[in-house]
Structure 1
C-alpha cells in the first residue's frame, strides 16, 4: 500500500511539474524571437544584449501567461492608433490592468536581466 501511495505521489508531483513547465513554455518560439529582435534593436546588437533580451522574455513568460501577454500587447498597439476608437483602450480599468501586469513583468525582467 505504501508503494502505491509513493508512486501516486510521484506521479502527482510530476504532473504538477509538467503543468508548471507548460505554463512557463506557453510562449510560441516566434513570439519569443520577435521580442528578442525588438529588444536588441533598442538595446544594441551584440552577444551580451542577446542574452539579456532572451533572459528578459523568459522572465516575463515566467510571470505572465501568454494569453495575458497577447492581451497587453494588443491593448498597447490599439492605444497607439489615433481617433475616437483608440480612446476605448486608454481609459477602462480592464485595459489598464492588463497593461500594468505587463509593465510589472517587464520591470522585474529589466532588474534581473539588465
Structure 2
C-alpha cells in the first residue's frame, strides 16, 4: 500500500523540482546582465530622470524590462554602436550608417520604448 502512495508523491516531487529547475534556468536567462552593467544603466537613467527615490524604482524596472527583451551581448553591441557613433570622424559615420550597426540600436530603442511604457 505504501508503494502505491509513493508513486504519486514521487511524481509530484519530480514535477515540483522540475519547475524549480526551469524557473532557475529562466531566471538565469533573464539575469545575464552583469550587476555592474545594470548599475551603470540605473545611474545614467537617474541622471536623466532626476536623482530621486522614484527614479531608482523606474530606472531599475527599465533595465529589467530591457534585459527581458534583448540578450546582454546585443545590448553591449548597441551601446558600443551608440558610443562610437558620437565620434566625429569617418569612423563615427561608419557606425551611424552601417546596417549591422543600426539593427542592434533599433532593437535597444524598441526595448527602451517598452520599458518606458511599463516603468514610467
TM range (shorter): 0.7 to 0.9
CA RMSD of aligned residues (A): 1.8
Q: Does 1:82 align with 2:107?
A: no
Query: C-alpha distance in 2, partners of 1:109/1:13?
Result: 28
Q: TM-score, normalised by structure 1?
A: 0.87
Which residue of structure 1 aligns with residue 36 of structure 2?
30
Query: C-alpha distance in 2, partners of 1:91/1:13?
Result: 45
Moved more, 51-60 or 18-27: 18-27
Structure 2 unaligned regions, length at least 5: 1-6
Structure 1 unaligned regions, length at least 5: none
Which residue of structure 1 aligns with residue 74 of structure 2?
68
Query: C-alpha distance in 2, partners of 1:91/1:5?
Result: 56
Which residue of structure 2 aligns with residue 96 of structure 1?
102
Q: TM-score, normalised by structure 2?
A: 0.83
Query: C-alpha distance in 1, partners of 2:22/2:94?
Result: 39
Deviation for aligned residue 1:64: 1.0
Other structure's SS at 1:90 match = helix
Q: Does 1:56 align with 2:62?
A: yes
Query: C-alpha distance in 2, partners of 1:19/1:41?
Result: 33
Other structure's SS at 1:33 match = helix
